[in-house]
Amino acid sequence: MSVVTKWGSADDGVVLVTGGARGIGAAVVRAFAETGRRVVAADVREDVLAEEVAGLVAGGLDVHACAVDVTSAPAVETAVSDVEDRHGSVSVLVNGAGVLRTGEVTGLSDTDWQDMFAVNTTGVFLVSRAVARRMVPRRAGSIVTVSSNAGGVPRVAMAGYAASKAAATMFTKSLGLELARYGIRCNVVAPGSTATPMLTGMGVSDDQLIGGSPETYKVGIPLGKLARPEDIADAVLYLASPAAGHVTLQEIYVDGGATLGVKA
């Protein structure tokens, strides 16, 4: 059970989580569902999403699937409308969809750059815009974007990813400034190295991540361990909950101290 429990129900509106099929997104979906909220998990990976949601439903949780490509404006608009028609008003949005491609700038392909910005930045814009347009008349809501500590601290071979996440972070904070007058809060969670399939795909060992890499100017993780997806989900849950009712435009780093408490 998550650290913030039983603070809502299906009557408090729907929680929409993008990237909900695997990794941090899936952990966020479960965390909200375990508080009693109705959750819609959205992802482009339809088969993987269906499997994940089926398991949660079998466990008695109120979770529903929504297959959508967050890089397509028409698809996003259709999906958000469908979610509200079928399941109720979206009161919490979690932007969890993301892709990571590594490589130094001189060797980074156009496609890798475009793919990261399409999902990590444009996807956040499109989904947030669609949901915010519906939250504004209701004068309530919470938006949390899952960014990265790489969005505030330079990383070798991660310039494209870092740039896309930095853009998503500043977009979310600026959106929060615009929406504050409507009582809508917008915040950011910036994870460090987290035990997910995305991290595994980087091909770097846990020991290297925890110990750091002096040759690439990368500090290790002071807490001596990788984050679990649940660690990130707990931070997201807090920011979306009434416990953070006076918190907006903020960014929480959940990285075990890897950035030494320094933010851009």
Per-residue pLDDT reduced to its tens digit, 93-152: 999 999 999 999 999 999 999 999 999 999 999 999 999 999 999 999 999 999 999 999
Enter the pTM of the model: 0.95
pLDDT tens string 234-261:
999 999 999 999 999 999 999 999 999 9
Is 47 a domain residue?
A: no
The stretch 51-66 carries a mean pLDDT of 98
Quickly tell me which residue has 């290297």 as its tokens: 208
Is 76 a domain residue?
A: no
pLDDT for res 11? 62
CATH at residue 218: 3.40.50.720
- With a pLDDT cut of 70, the percent of the chain lying above it is 95
Is there a catalytic annotation at residue 161? Answer: yes
CB-CB contact of 189 with 235 (8 Å): yes
Domain that holds residue 151: 10-15+31-38+87-254
Is 45 a domain residue?
A: no
Eight-state DSSP code of residue 10: G
Is 133 a domain residue?
A: yes
| Alpha-carbon torsion (237, 243, 248, 252), positive or negative | negative
Instruction: Domain count for the chain, please give it.
Output: 1
HEC profile of 155-205: CCCCHHHHHHHHHHHHHHHHHHHHHHHHCEEEEEEEECCECCHHHHCCCCC
Going along 74-148, which residue ranges are E strands? 90-95, 141-146
pLDDT for res 199? 83
Angle 23-33/46-58 helices, nearest 10 degrees?
A: 30
Is 77 a domain residue?
A: no
pLDDT tens string 15-25:
999 999 999 99
Q: Distance (Å, rounded) from C-alpha 2 to C-alpha 258?
A: 24
Is 262 a domain residue?
A: no
Beta strands at 90-95 and 14-18: parallel, antiparallel or unpaired: parallel
pLDDT tens string 192-244:
999 998 887 777 888 889 999 999 999 999 999 999 999 999 999 999 999 99
Is 114 a domain residue?
A: yes
Q: Would you place residue 10 in the very low, low, confident or very high pLDDT band (cuts 50, 70, 90)?
A: low
Is 157 a domain residue?
A: yes
